[in-house]
């Protein structure tokens, strides 16, 4: 029973990913993105519990990736599809009467699946990430959706920007490329809760909380860019 506790938490991550998709197609964009945030919390918890209590297993590793494909790949892909479908001015590329442009959003789950499969076999990613982790990509899309919905203090010009088709297409392409890019990034995995060895992670979390307190949801893109820049500086 005890050895499967991290796996049960992982299943909660997967459940949140499923509920995110259901919520979106029930007409609630906000709840769809909230469930992705909940999934990210469970994703952090399952790994932390497994490492702290030494409950890592091959089953847990594979289950975690399968859950992440849904919660941080497929669900954000549906959200991006929705944002593109309702964006303006929407380019038109029709096939059998269907505009194919919104389907660009599904590049996110495709590249997320590739990134997660590669993560499972890439020994270089035990101490660092190569390419952005799928939760980071998903949370960026969550931020774009919330800004688009004018929630949590997002500014009107940012809401207008996230409703622009060309911006959303560009964001989708950039995130997809960053998922599989050979860019070394700071791993956000805590082996324990001690300060020593985790200073960079704690500092990043503290700064992120401070930025969110000041700029609210608009802080997420700043944090995202800062994470990449800080990681590149630290690797020099």
User: Residue 130: helix, strand or coil by DSSP?
Assistant: strand
Q: What is the pLDDT of residues 32-90, one digit of tens each?
A: 999 999 999 999 999 888 888 888 888 999 999 999 999 999 999 999 999 999 999 88
Domains and CATH numbers, the chain: 2-234 (1.20.120)
Which of 181-185, 190-194, 197-201 comes out lowest in average pLDDT?
190-194
User: Does the pLDDT of residue 234 top 80, yes or no?
Assistant: no
Q: Read off the DSSP letter of residue 90.
A: P
Phi, psi (deg, nearest 5) at residue 189: -85, 125
| Cis peptide preceding 215, ω within 30 of 0 | no
Joined together, the tokens standing for residue 1 give 């029973």
The pLDDT of residue 236: 57
Residue 17: predicted pLDDT = 98
- Size of the chain, expressed as the number of residues it contains: 236
Measured CA to CA, the distance from residue 171 to residue 162 in angstroms comes to 10
Q: Identify the pLDDT of residue 3.
A: 84
Q: What's the CA gap between 36 and 19, in Å, rounded?
A: 9
pLDDT band at 152 (very low <50, low <70, confident <90, very high): low
> Of all residues in the chain, what percent carry a pLDDT higher than 90?
53
CA angle 126, 132, 137 (to 5 degrees): 130
Q: How many other C-beta atoms are found inside a 10 Å radius of the C-beta of residue 228?
A: 16
Q: So what's the pLDDT on residue 176?
A: 98
For residue 18, the SS3 value is helix
- Measured in whole angstroms, how far is the alpha carbon of residue 105 from the centre of its chain? 14
| pLDDT of 129 above 90 | no
Q: Which residue has the higher pLDDT, 200 or 117?
A: 117
Buried-state track 117-155, b at ≥16 Cβ within 10 A, e below 16: eebeeeeebeeebbbbbbbbbbbbbbbbbbbbbeebebe
Name, in order, each residue with C-beta under 8 angstroms of 24's C-beta and a sequence gap of 6 or more: 32, 75, 78, 79, 82
Look at phi and psi of residue 27 and say left if phi exceeds 0, alpha if psi is from -120 to 50, else beta. Answer: left
| 219-227, long-range: CB < 8 A, 24+ apart | 220/139, 220/140, 220/142, 220/143, 221/140, 221/143, 221/144, 224/136, 224/139, 224/140, 224/143, 227/136, 227/185, 227/186
**Alpha-carbon dihedral 198, 200, 206, 208, rounded to 10 degrees:** -130
Q: Is the pLDDT of residue 233 over 90?
A: no
The answer, yes or no, to whether residue 190 has pLDDT greater than 80, is no
């Amino acid at each position: 029973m005890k050895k499967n506790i991290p796996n049960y938490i992982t299943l909660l991550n997967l459940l949140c990913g499923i509920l995110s998709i259901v919520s979106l197609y029930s007409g609630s964009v906000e709840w769809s993105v909230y469930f992705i945030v909940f999934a990210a919390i469970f994703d952090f918890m399952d790994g932390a519990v497994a490492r702290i209590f030494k409950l890592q297993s091959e089953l847990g590793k594979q289950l975690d990736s399968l859950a992440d494909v849904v919660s941080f790949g497929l669900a954000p892909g549906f959200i991006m599809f929705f944002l593109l479908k309702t964006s303006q001015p929407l380019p038109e590329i029709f096939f059998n009467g269907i505009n194919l442009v919104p389907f660009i959003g599904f590049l996110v789950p495709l590249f997320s699946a590739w990134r997660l499969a590669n993560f499972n076999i890439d020994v270089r990613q035990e101490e660092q990430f190569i390419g952005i982790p799928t939760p980071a990509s998903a949370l960026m899309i969550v931020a774009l959706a919330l800004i688009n919905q004018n929630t949590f203090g997002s500014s009107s010009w940012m809401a207008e920007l996230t409703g622009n088709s060309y911006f959303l297409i560009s964001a989708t392409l950039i995130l997809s490329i960053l998922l599989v890019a050979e860019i070394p990034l700071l791993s956000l995995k805590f082996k324990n809760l001690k300060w020593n060895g985790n200073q960079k992670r704690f500092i990043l979390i503290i700064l992120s909380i401070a930025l969110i307190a000041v700029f609210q949801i608009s802080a997420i893109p700043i944090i995202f860019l800062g994470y990449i820049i800080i990681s590149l500086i630290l690797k020099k």
